[in-house]
Structures are given as structure tokens and as C-alpha cells.
Amino acid sequence: MKMIPYFILLLFVFAAGPSFAQVSKPMAKDTSISFMVHGACEQCKQRIEGVLKIKGIKKANWDIDSKLLNLTYNPAQVSLEKIQNRIVAAGHDIDTKKANDNVYNALPSCCHYREMDKMLHESNTDTLQLFQKDSVIEKNVPDIVDKNIDIVHVIKGVVLETGKKGAFTPLTGASIMWLHSGKGVSTDSNGVFLIPHDGVNSRLIISYTGYRPDTVTVTDMNELKIILAANHQLKEVTVVSKQRSTYLSAVNPIRTQVMTDKELFKAACCNLSESFETNPSVDVSYNDAVTGSKQIQLLGLNGNYTQLTVENLPGPRGIATPLGLNSIAGPWVESIQLTKGIGSVANGYESIAGQVNVELKKPENSESLFANVYVNDFGKTDLNLNLAKKIGKKWSTGLLLHDDFLSNNKLDFNKDGFRDLPTGNQFNLINRWKYDDGKGFLTQFGVKVLTDKRTGGQTDFDPAKDRQSTSKYGLGINTQRYEAFAKIGYVFPEKKYKSIGLQLSAIDHQQDSYFGLTTYNAEQKNFYANLIYQSIINNTQHKFRTGFSFLMDKYDEDFKTVQYTRNEKVPGAFFEYTYTPNTKFSVIAGIRGDHNNLYGFFATPRVHVRYEPVKGTTIRISAGRGQRTANILAENMSVFVSSRQVNIITNKTGLAYGLDAEVAWNKGISIDQKFKLFQRDALLSVDFFRNDFNKQVVVDLEDPTQVKFYNLSGRSYSNSAQAEINFEPFNKLEARLAYRYFDVKTTYGNQLLQRPLVAPHRAFANLAYSISGWKLDYTITYNGSKRIPNTQSSPAQYQLPAYSPSYVLMNAQVSKTVGKKHPMDFYIGSENLTGFIQKNVIVAADQPFSTSFDASMVWGPVTGRMLYAGWRFKLK
């Protein structure tokens, strides 16, 4: 009896046949995927998502900004190939298939994404970035030579019609075109348009059926609101949202802060060392009280640990370190990219605290003429002239000139008999060329020349009579630097995600100098090559960069009577993988292997993760390794202006100065939160970074009679925490507030001590207001107390306190833009408004040849209040 139900069930199964068997099989699981679909506007979004409303597709969301289609579908019901064919048949290209030209041409003009991409590609084939409020949306255009070479400015706007009752209505199909260019776009269904700016034209033609066309001059090219009046005439063009002077890329896993030229114009910015005065993350201070050289501090570490590059090629490093920040003229700079922590493995292995990459002005999108004149009440004058010219459709060239001079040898605020700044003259130039055939091949090359002569010391020092004698203390630094660089790249026309590029640079840097009775003559020859290949794995969710690099440094240093020479060669290879499954999550994981002929093989792993759990909240995590060779003499040139004896403690040979390479692991996390404050956009950023040194060359100043260099034996670390908020209290007033805390300690001898001359606490505020061509900028910083190296063994009159006092610095600038066709800027300002200076900045200034003399114990400002004025002129 018990078998009967089972037998009946069997009969039912066979009677049901294949249909029952099919139901009994497990259902296929849904699959989620993201891939690039080309489009331009809201109508494109509706069309793309509309054709995917078919059986088997659970979700289809196309993002206008990133061009990524996020798709969830059932492979058992519909194939990916069928989905992609439907998209292409609707007129939208994907990376592997192209839509029929007739279908594409039949799309509304606002949907003609190929023309927009072409215009952007003509201006910039390296990196395409759309500026949108305070973020940068990076399009899927591959690197040719390196990332962030050029930044194309794309204006976003809306065209509205005002009715009789004052209500605004968006106008679809309005024409927006640059005057005399023949290049334009149309507004979409919401009246919105995107049009690239070539860096030259400033006049837009606005036209719409039933309205009289009009031409307007746009002076602030950001987001525009164009209002057409009821009387069929153009009513006004107003800026409703503008690109911040400093912003973060919203989609890049590597947290990169970009400082535009607007940020640099908040201060005089005669050179790179003055470009960070309005940035809370970077400290800039004098190395000593005599040479005028400056250094940056990032994450509480000296600038030696920050990789400085110029357009991702080696910048001032090695022997050029102490005076390198002074050698890049501020008016040359287009933007500065600041990365805290470790960077990309494609850029090398040396970044430990971070990377500062300087983008110079490009001839293809710069003003044809830019002039700047600066003078201050110290007697210093800066002259700058930038020239750019396009030669035909494929060539462009630029010439950047800088000259500064100071002849006032009586500048002595603290009346100690020493010049607060050295006198002298610096001249440098860059001549660069660029060729772009418009078919994927691009090359740029150029040369740089620098000459710098400085004389410092006591106010009545005469080098012709007193050089290297004990009658008067003086110093002289004569620098000559020559560079040549080239970048060659090719983007595969049919596969724009694929590119190959080669970076090359060669540098010869020579410095002849004396400091009292001490001589230091050095020469560095550098050669760098970096080959980068970029492509995808199956689709654009999986990108990679790989390549080979070679770095050669040849040093020849004569210090007093000792010669230090070395020839360092480092071939290497790298691989970097980027995974972007959707717009919320992305990962960059990279590794490189290098072989140093002095230190052997070493590996450099690095990883960056970006996650956006909710819109407006971005979390980034990074970790990785950095390694560098310490150039102990050049990087610590400040000890030359003292009576300290140099003591290198080592029993090793065959290494740089007999010391190990420096190795550190950096870990960091940051959170960026967008929100509304005072009914306007605001950004709150919090970050924490930690560096742990496995190996380090310790610079020990704890004995006032000597400076000791030795390998680390113990712990050395840095902790950096910072909170920053950017907001607009009211219209046209930008505010930036920040607080930063450092915990930086190193083992000196057998004691773990706070690193000297580093302030644990720093508070910062910057206000920028603009109205009717006027711009007012004000910056105030609070600098906490710093530990001073031990001087207890010095004579009583030359002993210093254990800690410096805290102090406040204030800077301000007012500028006015006049003229429309050929605008000019006039600016005046003041640095160190309160005139605060470090008293007795030079120890034993009255006895410069005694064993107690030391001009390197600088914890505060060396010069008092400084007033300046300047003039800028641009010719498009």
C-alpha cells in the first residue's frame, strides 16, 4: 500500500514530460555587469534605458557623467550580446561595437556624443576631465603619456526662458557656439549643455528660434545660467556655480587634491615654495636663517620624503632639493596635484609622505601672452613672460621666462648683523614643443635652463675681499641646471582604451658654494625613462597599466676636503590593475620590482580603495611601501651655516655614504562628505595617515657641536590627522577652515623623541571674496610650539629653550581685474601682517667663526612684515 503513492508520483512525472523537468531545474542566477556606453544627455539616458526594458533585464541604469551602464540581467533569458546589439542599434557606441552612422546621424543634435568627444580629444588626448562644481569626473579616455598631463575645461550650462510672470522654462535645442570657431552644441531636453573651452575664446553666440542671436563675453567660465528675456532678447548670463580653486577628484581611488591657478593667484606665488600658503596640508618654512632656501613638510616629514615631479617627470631632487622649490616660477604653474601618502607605482617608488606633481602651462591651451611684474618693499623684483603659439593644426610651442633679483644687502629685521635673505639673481626658461597629428600620435619635448647666483652672510660682507676669510662671514651659491625632456605617445584609433607612451628626461645640475670657511661643490647627472602601456581586460571594468623604467643618478660631491661619489642605476618594471565594477567602488592595486646596483632588488606593493556608500560620501583607504636613497649633504645644507662637525657613523661600504636606503610603510584613510550649509555646497574632509620606518637615515642634532648621520636603531614613525571644511557662508565668499595634528617621533641614540622643529598643532583659516572684478583673500595660521634640539652643553648665553613659543601668521591680498577685451590684474598684498619674527634666530651671531655658531635652528619667520604689489596681463 505504501508503494502506491510513490508509483502514482512517478507516473505524474513522466506524464508531465519535459515541462516538469524544466521547472525542476535550478533557476539561472542574475548577473550584474557594468560597461561603457557612449552618450551625451538626458535624452540619451532615456533612449539607452528604454531599449533595455525587455524580458530578462532586471535593472538598467546609465550614468550621464561616467557613461557607465550598470546592468542586472538573467543570462538564461537574454544574452549579453543581444543586449549590446540593442544598444548599438539605438545609435550608441560601446567599446567593442560602433553604431551605424545613419542611425547615429538621425539622433537629435544634443545626442551627438561623437562630435563632443572629438572636440575634447582635439584639445586633450592625454586625460579628459570634466569640471563639475567641486569634483572632477574622469572620462574613459586613456593615458597617452601619463595621467593629469592636461586639464581641459568644459563649461556646463543651462538656457532658460523667462515668461511674463517671471517663471523660468528650459529651452530645448538652443544653439551654443564659440565665436568664429564653428564649434558648438545644443541644449538637451532640460536646457542643459556641455561645451569644451579651448583656453582662448571667451565669446559665446547664443541663438534660439524666435529670439535674436546675441554674442556674450564670458569672463568666469564655470557653470553658466543663460536667461532669454520675454522680449526675445538675451537678458543675462550669470555664474550659478563655479569650480572651486582647490578640489578633489570624486572618482579617483587615489585621493588627489588639485590646486588650480585660481588658488595660486590668492597670493603672489613668485615660486613654488610660495604656492602652498593657502593650503592647510603643507607647511613651508625656511631651512635656515641665511641661505633663503625653503622646504615643505607633509604628514610631519621633511620635503625629502615627498616625491616632487613636474608633469610626472623628475623634479628638483638630490642636490637640487634645498633650492628646488625656489626654481619653479609661480606664473608658470597651471595646477598642482597633491597626493598624501603613497602614489601610483607607475610614477616610481620614492614617495613616502606623498607626491606633489606640478603641471606647467601648455602651449596648446595657454594664453598667447602672459606677463607678470612683482615688487616688494624688501627690494625684490620678479619678471615673468609666457608666450604660446599654435603653428598650423598639429604643432604648438611655448616659451616661459622668469627673472628675479634682490640687491638689498641691508635687510636685517632682528638687527643681528646678518642679511635675512641672500642677494642675487635667478634666471630660468623653458622652451617646449608639442605635435599632435589628431590620429592618435602625440609627442612633446623641450629644454629647461636655470642659473642662480646668491650671496649672503653678514650685511657688510664683500665677496671680492672677504670670501672664505675670517674677517666677515659670508656665503655664495652658484647653481647651473640644464634639462631636456620628451614624451611620445600613441592611442590606438579604433581602441581608445589602449595606448602606449614613453617618458624621457635628462638633467645636469651643478652647484658651487661656500659657507664661511666650508666649501661644498657638487654635480648630479640624472637620466630617467619610463615606458607605459595601458589597455583593458575584456571590458573597461578591468584596466591595467604596465611598463618598464630606468633611473640613473651620478653624484660627485666635494665637501671640505672629502669627496663623495656614486653612480646609482635602478632598472625596474611595474604592473597596476584598476577594477571599477560600478560608480560606487573602485580599486587600484599595483606592484613594481626594481634593482638598485647599490642596494639590490626590492619590491614596492601599493593599493588604493575608493568606496561611496551613499551619494556624497567618499571613503578612501591606501597602503603601500616607499623607498629612497638619502642625499645627506644636499638635503641638510642648513647645517653648513653652522660650526657643527659632520659625523657619519657607519661601518658599511659600497652604499651611499655607507648608509642604508630609507624604507617606510604608509597607511591612510580619508572621508570626504558633501553636504549643504547655508543652502550652498560644502565639503568636510577628514584624513589620517601613518608612516612606519623600517630603515631610516637619522639626522641627529641633539649635540650642538655636531650633526650625526646614522642608520635607525629603534622606532621611527609619524601620525598625521587633519579635518578640513570648505563652505560658502554667503554668496561669493569662500571659507576654508582646518586643524591638523602631528605625532612624529624618532629614536635618537637610544631615546624616542619628538622630531625637532615640527609643530604638533596647526590651525588654518582662509577667506576668499570676489565681487565686480575685485578679489580679497585673507589667510591666518596658528602654529603650535616646536621642540628645539638639545643645547644644554653650549655656553649659557647660547643655550636655547627646550620648546619654541606658538605664534600666529596672517597674509592678505587684494586684486582688481580691469578691461574686458584684454583684461589686466593689479594686486597688492602683505605677508606676515603682524611682523612676528623669531628673535635671536642665529645662535652666536656675534661670533660667526666660534664653535657655538648655528644659523639652522629656525622655528619661526625670519623676515618681518612684507608689502608687495604686482601686475598681470593676459592676451588670449
Q: What is the mean pLDDT of residues 327-337?
A: 89
C-alpha cell at 582: 560600478
E-strand spans in 331-440?
333-340, 354-360, 369-376, 380-391, 395-406, 423-436
The Cα 124–Cα 753 span in angstroms is 50
- From residue 496, alpha-carbon distances to 491, 534, 562, 761 in Å are 6, 10, 55, 48
Range of weakest confidence among 361-375, 443-457, 661-675, 797-811? 361-375
- Whether 511 has a pLDDT exceeding 80, the answer reads yes
| Distance in angstroms (rounded) separating the CA atoms of residues 380 and 374 | 8
Q: Is the pLDDT of residue 406 over 90?
A: yes
Q: Give the pLDDT score at 11.
A: 36
Give the pLDDT confidence score for residue 811 in this predicted structure.
95
Q: Are 351 and 136 in contact (CB under 8 A)?
A: no
Q: What is the pLDDT confidence band of residue 214, given thresholds at 50, 70 and 90?
A: low
Q: Quick check: helix, strand or coil at residue 11?
A: helix
495 or 677: which leads in pLDDT: 677
Q: Which pLDDT tens digit goes with each residue over 600-616?
A: 999 999 999 999 999 88
* Per-residue pLDDT at 408 exceeds 70: yes
**pLDDT above 70 (res 473):** yes
Rounded to whole angstroms, how far apart are CA atoms 67 and 73? 19
HSE-CB at 52 with a 13 A cutoff on CA atoms is 28
413 compared with 174, residue with greater pLDDT: 413
- What is the pLDDT at residue 127? 30
**Could you say which DSSP state residue 249 is in?**
-
Q: How far apart are CA 739 and CA 724, in angstroms?
A: 7
d(CA 869, CA 831) in angstroms, rounded, equals 12
CA angle (671, 344, 120) in 5-degree steps: 85
Helix (H, G, I), strand (E, B) or coil at 220: coil
Instruction: Give strand pairing partners of 568.
Output: 553
Rounded-to-integer distance, Cα 528 and Cα 521, Å: 24
Mean pLDDT, rounded, for 335-361: 93
Q: Which comes out higher in pLDDT, residue 324 or 629? A: 629
pLDDT at 124 exceeding the cut of 60? no
Angle at 824 between CA 821 and CA 826, to 5 degrees: 155
**What is the separation, in whole angstroms, between the first and last Cα of the chain?**
99
Instruction: Provide mean pLDDT across the span 387-407.
Output: 94
Q: What is the pLDDT of residue 202?
A: 65
Phi, psi of 470 (to 5 degrees): -95, 10
Rounded to 5 degrees, what are φ and ψ at 625?
-115, 145
Residue 1 has a pLDDT of 41
- Note the residue count of the chain: 876
Give the whole-number percent of the chain exceeding pLDDT 90: 60
Question: To the nearest 10°, the Cα dihedral for 266, 271, 274, 280?
Answer: 80
Residues 187, 181: Cα–Cα separation, whole Å: 18
Confidence category of residue 397, pLDDT binned at 50, 70, 90: very high
For the segment 136-168, what is each residue's pLDDT rounded down to a tens digit? 323 333 333 333 333 345 677 777 776 555 556
Pairing relation of β-strands 733-748 and 761-771? antiparallel
Q: Residue 44's pLDDT is what?
A: 87
CA distances from 145 to 142, 439, 632 (A): 9, 15, 33
Q: What is the pLDDT of residue 225?
A: 64
Task: List, for residues 786-824, the tens digit of each pLDDT value.
Answer: 999 999 999 999 999 999 999 999 999 999 999 877 889
DSSP 3-state of 671: strand
Give per-residue pLDDT as tens, 320-331.
Answer: 988 888 889 989
CA–CA dist 79, 59 (Å, integer): 14
Lowest-pLDDT range of 372-376, 527-531, 538-542, 563-567: 538-542
C-alpha span between 768 and 351 (Å, rounded): 32
Q: With 70 as the cut, is the pLDDT of residue 551 above it?
A: yes
The rounded distance, in Å, linking the Cα atoms of 15 and 267 is 87
Q: Which of 380, 343, 388, 340 is nearest to 362 (CA)?
A: 388
**What is the pLDDT at residue 43?**
81
Q: How far apart are CA 93 and CA 139, in angstroms?
A: 15
Q: Which percentage of the chain shows pLDDT scores above 70?
A: 85
C-alpha cell at 445: 619635448
Q: Please tell me the predicted confidence (pLDDT) of residue 228.
A: 63
Side-chain-facing half-sphere of 873: CA atoms under 13 Å: 9
∠ Cα 600 604 605 (to 5°): 150
Q: Count of CB atoms within 10 A of residue 236's CB?
A: 11
Q: Nearest-5° angle of CA 822, CA 826, CA 829?
A: 155
Other CB atoms within 10 Å distance of the CB of residue 288:
25
- Hey, what's the cell of 418? 646678518
User: Measuring CA to CA, how many Å separate 169 from each of 41, 166, 226, 238, 476?
Assistant: 18, 10, 11, 16, 69
Please tell me which of 70-74, 282-286, 572-576 the model is most confident about, judged by mean pLDDT: 572-576
* CA angle in degrees (0–180, nearest 5) for 400-406-407: 140
Per-residue pLDDT, 133: 31
Q: What is the pLDDT of residue 218?
A: 66
pLDDT-derived band at 8, boundaries 50, 70, 90: very low
- pLDDT confidence of residue 529: 97
| pLDDT score at 562 | 92
Q: What mean pLDDT is reported for the chain? A: 85
Would you say 122 and 189 are in contact if contact means Cβ atoms under 8 Å apart? Answer: no
**Residues 6 or more apart in contact with residue 26 via CB below 8 angstroms:** none
On the question of pLDDT at 310 being above 90, the answer is: yes
126-130, 341-345, 791-795, range with the lowest pLDDT: 126-130
| Weakest mean pLDDT among 151-165, 266-280, 456-470, 862-876 | 151-165
Residue 169's nearest CA partner among 159, 180, 178 is: 159
What does the DSSP assignment read for 94-152? BSS----HHHHHTS-GGG-HHHHHHHHHHH-SS--EEEETTEEEE-S---SS-TTS---
Output the pLDDT for position 174.
77
Q: What is the pLDDT of residue 153?
A: 57
Q: Is pLDDT above 90 for 215?
A: no
Is residue 459 pLDDT above 60, yes or no? yes
- pLDDT given at position 248: 80
CA of 450: how far to CAs of 328, 427, 595, in Å?
A: 10, 6, 32
For residues 293 and 295, give the distance between their C-alpha atoms in angstroms, rounded to a whole number.
7
CA 363 to CA 13: how far, in whole Å? 78
Lowest mean pLDDT, pick from 42-46, 679-683, 772-776, 858-862: 42-46
Residue type, 317: R
Q: Which of 201-205, 440-444, 453-457, 595-599 is predicted with the least confidence, judged by mean pLDDT?
A: 201-205
User: Is it the case that residue 234 has pLDDT exceeding 90?
Assistant: no
Q: Report pLDDT for 122.
A: 40
Averaged pLDDT for residues 40-51: 85
Report the distance separating Cα 766 and Cα 734, nearest Å. Answer: 8
DSSP three-state, residue 287: coil
Give the model's pLDDT for residue 32.
80
Distance of alpha carbon 160 from alpha carbon 227, whole angstroms: 5
Query: For the range 234-240, what are the long-range contacts, defined as Cβ-Cβ under 8 Å and sequence gap of 24 or more?
Result: 234/206, 235/162, 237/204
> In this predicted structure, which of 286-295, 380-389, 684-693 has the lowest mean pLDDT?
286-295
Read off the pLDDT of each residue in 834-852 and give the average, rounded to a whole number.
94
The grid coordinates of residue 620 equal 578612501
Give pLDDT, residue 167.
Answer: 57
Instruction: Return the SS3 of 768.
Output: strand
- Is 216 a residue whose pLDDT tops 70? no
